[in-house]
Amino acid sequence: MQITTQPSSIPISNAKASFRPWLMLISRSVLFILFQALIALILFATGTDSAWDESARWWTFTAFLTNFVSIYLLVRLYNAEGKGYFDVIHFSRETWKKDLAWFFGSSLIGLPIGALPMTALAAALFGDTMTPTTMMFRPLPTWAFILSFLFPLTIAFAELPTYFGYVMPRLEARLKNGWLAWLIASFFLGAQHMFLPLILDGRFILWRLGMYLPFALFVGLVIKLRPTLLPYLMILHALMDLSAVAVYLTI
């Protein structure tokens, strides 16, 4: 079976439904801010100085809490359309051989696109590659480090399915322009990183915006051209973020 993400399969029934893709487009950015604010409030209540700045330390918690809500919203939205989450996002038995070929080929291109902007932008904005990394990756208690693995385990089911499984095909159906839908969904996927964590430093925010934007555009393009690759890229995404959590082992 094919992944049902093509615009022709998406009902456009009422005005309320037409707003849902736009709300989901900004949902993760809003949730990042809300959960970081909640963590900051808890830290403030416990007497922590500079509670907002300290809340950035716990960004993996902000991430996996947001992922849980994103998955919940996707399940509810698909149910409202008479579908199930795994009815829509699953591996195709008919195309898996070609999908694997596409996946390995696109991964060879995509992994450098995902990695290089991070160091190049850090050097350009901060003068070295480690300053923004140390701003983001701060020491955590052992129990918090262990719980941080919920971040890569849940993001596979939340992030790409939100922007490219749910939002992109529905924007294409409403805008009647698949390329514009791809640009919008990809931009908001890249831009959400500005808010995870939200550190009120202009260079850091610009670094977070630019470091993933090329990769977001590339992944969105691959899924637009071959929607059946979505579950494969979900796995790749989880593995990439697993390596991000592993950075804590070096600090």
**Residue 138 predicted with pLDDT over 60:** yes
Burial (CB count <10 Å: 0-12, 13-18, 19+), residue 50: exposed
Mean pLDDT throughout 156-185?
A: 97
Q: What is the pLDDT of residue 22?
A: 97
Q: Does residue 151 sit within a domain?
A: yes
Please give the Cα distance from 56 to 198 (Å, whole number).
7
Q: What is the pLDDT of residue 9?
A: 46
Provide the residue count of the chain.
251
Q: What is the pLDDT of residue 14?
A: 62
Q: Does residue 149 sit within a domain?
A: yes
Mean pLDDT throughout 89-99?
A: 95
**Residue 205 predicted with pLDDT over 70:** yes
Q: Does residue 3 sit within a domain?
A: no
Considering only CA atoms, which of 129, 115, 117 is closest in space to residue 243?
115
Residues of the domain holding 221 = 16-250
Report whether 219 contacts 160 (CB < 8 A).
yes
Q: What is the pLDDT of residue 8?
A: 39
**Residue 43 predicted with pLDDT over 80:** yes
For the chain, where are the E strands, in sequence order? none
Average pLDDT, the chain: 93
Q: Does residue 115 sit within a domain?
A: yes
Q: How many domains does the chain have?
A: 1
Q: Does residue 6 sit within a domain?
A: no
**Residue 7 predicted with pLDDT over 90:** no
Q: Does residue 223 sit within a domain?
A: yes
What's the pTM? 0.92
Report whether 39 contacts 62 (CB < 8 A).
yes
Please give the Cα distance from 211 to 126 (Å, whole number).
14
Q: Does residue 167 sit within a domain?
A: yes
Mean pLDDT throughout 30-47?
A: 98
Q: Does residue 4 sit within a domain?
A: no
Q: What is the pLDDT of residue 28?
A: 98
Mean pLDDT throughout 19-33?
A: 97
